[in-house]
Structure 1
Amino acid sequence: MDRLGLLESFVIALDEGSLNRGAQRRGISQPAMSLQIKQLEELLGHALLHRSSTGVTPTRPGQLVYAQAQGLLSGYELMRAELSALEDSVSGTFRISTSTFFGRIILGPVLLEINQAYSDLDIVMKLEDRLVDVVRENIDLAIRSGTLGDGDGAARKIAQMETVLFATPSYLDQAGRPQRPEDLKRLKFIQHHEDQTGGFFQLNRDGVEFQAPVHVGFTADDPDLIIRAVSNHTGYARAPRLFLDEPLLAGHFEEVLPAYQPPAKDIYAVYPSRHCYDKRHEVIVKALLDRMEAMRVASLARRQPPTAITA
């Protein structure tokens, strides 16, 4: 197998956290996936993965290879796209799909700026809290967080968003503020339908993982409804911090177990095929990542305590 193909299998295995799930996404068997990783390790002369019953994680050399491989694969796809359309401009109709919250808070403002910068580009934005099939529904680009689903198309992880557990102060006054992960069993969790917990959350503190019991009290597929349920003091939920910065700072919501970090949400760019990635995709994804980084930096700055003024 070609070296780029081996690198792609390696990246997919780490993105999925499992050789089995990586093989399913790659369309091959799990033994074939394992063989490809072994071939890459032999080629590079380093063990790249820690394998366990719960999945795979990168070794130190694996972290380096993963970071470099993403750039190589992205550059290769961009090169192919540019070779097939050297004279293409950022123009034409471009259909993009994302979730309601992500579209309103992050992607929507990005697309408005891009639309002003490229007058020949006609952006059609779809906000829908479901997993669209980019091939069957004629979508040029979908930005998804968390679950990818079983639709056709190519996917690339482009970012991660820090998440927080949050509730209203009134609910925590009534239910009691948890001090340890095991205390979460006393609280009701308001769950997004994609985030099936299986009865436990994986929380992290100072590099140590904790399995926190989860008592699900309500499940919905509408983020607005989840926020409303939390606002009505019926439980706690998990969401990206970028979505909650203002209500957290204003005291409308309070972070639950702030010393522990829940899992981050992966952000994926999904498009009909790797060969269709063109300059329009590049412009939009780059602008999106720039905005997310600016929001992350601003969020960190807002959370910093004010500097004391000394005489």
Structure 2
Amino acid sequence: MGIFSSIEQFGEKFTRPVNLALGMFDGVHLGHQQVLTASQDHARDINGVSVAFTFPLHPASFLRPESAPPLLMNAEQKARMLHSYGMNHVILRDFDDELAHVSSSDFGVFLKERIPSVEGLSVGQNFRFGKGREGDSSFLQEVGEKMGMHVQVVNSKNMGEVAVSSSRIREALIAGQIESVNQMLGRNYRIYGSVLPGKKMGRSIGFPTMNLDWSPEARPAYGVYAGQVKNLNKGVVLPAVANYGMRPTVEDGADLPKLEIHILEDLDERDWGYDAEVEMSLEIFIRSESKFSSVEELTDQISKDINKAKTLLSIP
């Protein structure tokens, strides 16, 4: 897979026919995946390559920074996810003043001049483009026809009567509706980070934890989750519970939330030392964060959380 920060750089390097999948693709959810599949199908038809053309930051962060939505994933994670869903290459171009001033009528020329071999575009039905978001998917088809590009508009993926969207996923995430988040993603929501030194407070009360270096833009609801933790260095996967929040019982006035993971099976602690790269899936929301009157009350609740997690994860 190639990752390019410049559309011109990509256009100079590749002469094979190209289908571009266009979009922000934040979260790479089920609706996005349909667009990616359409791009790959057309790329095969033209004996070419499928390329995701997206942005590392949301365009709103350039146009209206105060209203830019928090992202579900960073640029590196998005590029890796787009590749995992079958895209040959990814263009991560900064949204800048040049792009902001390309009119919808000139958008096809903008692409063709920079990627002469582009023969097709794949977009979702709610796709907007051009200065001031003036162009819609229907107009893109008109632009594409004039430029000799096949434009495929992919219908939204509905869950219930509402389309799956990055905004809807963000809302479900902050509401603690992790099962809905996972359904809309088509996979479990995952956290990536490295193990950090901690105060070993969990160990002192009988529940050793790993502290993870993780600072997402779009934050999940504070509370306790059950899922699977994977050591990316060793390939080991184990069931675990994760607590994400401000830890009000043991820490007053924390500035930022912390993520702590307690593994539910025996493990070799040498595999999970500081700087180990870890992936944690959040599969079940067990409860919201609470402040307890004592450490003993917290300890009792942690025991209940662990027992519930084991039941839900079918651990004997």
Fold equivalence (TM over 0.5): no
- Structure possessing the higher relative contact order (Cα contacts under 8 Å, 6 or more residues apart): 1
Instruction: Give the greater-gyration-radius structure (CA).
Output: 2
TM-score, normalised relative to structure 1: 0.29
TM-score, normalised relative to structure 2: 0.29
Structure that is richer in helix per residue: 1
